[in-house]
Amino acid sequence: MASSACCCSPAAVQRRLPILAWLPNYSLQWLKMDFIAGLSVGLTAIPQALAYAEVAGLPPQYGLYSAFVGCFVYFFLGTSRDVTLGPTAIMSLLVSFYTFHEPAYAVLLAFLSGCIQLAMGVLHLGFLLDFISCPVIKGFTSAATVTIGFGQIKNLLGLQNIPRQFFLQVYHTFLRIAETRVGDAVLGLVCMLLLLVLKLMRDHMPPVHPEMPLGVRLSHGLVWSATTARNALVVSFAALVAYSFEVTGYQPFILTGETAEGLPPVRTPPFSVTTANGTISFTEMVQDMGAGLAVVPLMGLLESVAVAKAFASQNNYRIDANQELLAIGLTNVLGSFVSSYPVTGSFGRTAVNSQSGVCTPAGGLVTGVLVLLSLDYLTSLFYYIPKSALAAIIIMAVAPLFDTKIFRTLWRVKRLDLLPLCVTFLLCFWEVQYGILAGALVSLLMLLHSAARPETKVSEGPVLVLQPASGLSFPAMEALREEILSRALEVSPPRCLVLECTHVCSIDYTVVLGLGELLQDFQKQGVALVFVGLQVPVLRVLLSADLKGFQYFSTLEEAEKHLRQEPGAQPCNIREDAVLDHKVALLEA
């Protein structure tokens, strides 16, 4: 009964439905700011969705199908006011790897990824993401940036029939560089230049102050709007140029072409596919997607939670990571019913949302409605958008994801961390799952090595003092034993030793056995092994083990004073009742 009451308490309901926390306090000022932010994000999301569908190897309408469900789901379940869910460059790249450019596979992958993400959120398994280290993430995103960016060179130059595999793509692009279409290349470079200029204007705009004249503030707002919606402006400009040539009867550009009109039908995800060679069953589809069923949901969660945490830290509020898992999982599940492919949190659109002054997740409603309106009324106009313009948008969107400083930073801070970064970066060009898996494995091996071979600090004074610099667990016991034997018992004459355990917060049975054997070895040599700085949980375990010859002191000074009183190689005995009284008093405390 108590558990049921706790689950249904107002606080618990508010935690599962974060909208209840901010909706009662919603104001007209918030409505104005959310509307402006939602409009700005929508004008960015529509051209990006069309472009990312190309990265995913899907028809352009699938990008728009994936761009609106997250807006509505996050309105109810999101804990960050800034995050916008939708198609991203990296997620689109992963989809292209695992769905063979088949919409049915992409939609089923969204459904299954959403189910996995929901399960992780319900079971509070978000901690699994902590095992993917920052160098692995940086290596993956940098490799993805190169793959995505170079993959758009063919569209930028108007080259056709270029393979999608990265190394083949590089080879064939350079092999056929002479086939470059001048019109596409010129338009693509002009679009990239326009996007760069507008971005620089946006980044270097001076802040507006209330005391400024009205005309200055209006012009500031106009420039801010134009630079924020630069993707929509550039696509509109390119489409207008292409349409002008179409009217004259000459078309120098490769166009997007026909886009399915209207809203997507609501239907269950395809659990089988009928092809010319027969029907592919659900089991066969799952087997075909293989590692994608692990890589796509995990990377989706990683990207979304990382974006949410970054902007929560920047804007001084907190998010619930497990609630974010539920939000993105439900988005993918529901999205699969309207032909969406897997989505995640978008860093670029979230930045636009934050910079536009969004106050609540309600800004996403405006973005979602804008995408739906474009699907219902503007799809016929998408025909005239040149592919080179969309390629320019993608290249400019992914370029900031390549962190050029990370290599120099790791070289300066910790060079060993360059190993998982480089392993991930290089292998991701071969297969994404191998790159991430190998990088995570290298990071895990480095972690295990540090646990198995902890550093020890040794003080060579009148009394030998050895201090493990970190925790003590069963893989480290053999290394600690070798260190102690080489410094204390394998020298002539044997020496007493103080084991300073301030940094040891827990031990296991293997460590207890190892320490018991060490105590026996020291007794056989006629010298003492004593312990200092034991934390209460460690002391409790050692007392329970009833180790013969176990001696403990509260301070290093007491231990050294006691050991110096002993004559040469004679056993270092301590009055047992005094030690026992001290242990009992400490445990009671």
- Model pLDDT for residues 429-441, shown as the tens digit of each residue: 888 778 888 998 9
List the CATH code of the domain at 456-588: 3.30.750.24
How far apart (Å, rounded) are the C-alpha atoms in residues 367 and 43? Answer: 8
Helix, strand or coil, per DSSP, at residue 456: strand
How far apart (Å, rounded) are the C-alpha atoms in residues 453 and 470? Answer: 10
Tokens read off for 19? 């909208």
456-511: pLDDT as tens digits: 888 887 788 999 877 788 888 988 999 899 988 888 888 899 999 988 888 889 99
Q: Decide which of 146 and 587 is more confident.
A: 146
- Pairing verdict, β 456-460 and 273-275: unpaired
Average pLDDT, the chain: 87
Q: 123, 117 in Cβ contact below 8 A?
A: no
Q: For residue 7, what pLDDT is reported?
A: 56
- Interval 526-534 mean pLDDT: 91
12-22: pLDDT as tens digits: 788 889 999 89
Residue 6 has pLDDT above 70, yes or no: no
**Residue 588: strand pairing partners:** none
Q: For residue 588, what pLDDT is reported?
A: 55
**Domain residue ranges in the chain:** 28-203+221-257+281-401, 404-452, 456-588
CA 336 to chain centre: 23
CA 190 to chain centre: 33
List the beta strands (DSSP E) in 7-149.
85-86
Q: DSSP for 224-280? A: HHHHHTHHHHHHHHHHHHHHHHHHHT---S-B------SPPP-----SSEEETTEEE
| Nearest to 264, CA basis, from 56, 53, 101 | 53
Residue 84 has pLDDT above 90, yes or no: yes
- Interval 351-369 mean pLDDT: 91
- pLDDT classification of 373: cutoffs 50, 70, 90: very high
- Interval 351-372 mean pLDDT: 92
**Residue 282: strand pairing partners:** none
561-579: pLDDT as tens digits: 888 775 433 333 333 444 4
Q: For residue 579, what pLDDT is reported?
A: 46
Residue 580 has pLDDT above 70, yes or no: no
Residue 522 has pLDDT above 80, yes or no: yes
254-278: pLDDT as tens digits: 998 888 889 999 999 999 998 878 8
- pLDDT classification of 66: cutoffs 50, 70, 90: very high
- Interval 30-44 mean pLDDT: 91
Percent share of the chain, pLDDT over 70: 95
How far apart (Å, rounded) are the C-alpha atoms in residues 424 and 144? Answer: 11
- Interval 516-542 mean pLDDT: 91
- pLDDT classification of 584: cutoffs 50, 70, 90: low
How far apart (Å, rounded) are the C-alpha atoms in residues 324 and 306? Answer: 11
Q: What is the identity of the amino acid at 147?
A: T
132-167: pLDDT as tens digits: 888 888 888 888 889 889 988 999 999 988 887 888
Q: Decide which of 270 and 11 is more confident.
A: 270
Q: For residue 585, what pLDDT is reported?
A: 53
Tokens read off for 70? 């997250």
**Residue 460: strand pairing partners:** 464
| Nearest to 232, CA basis, from 51, 456, 418 | 51
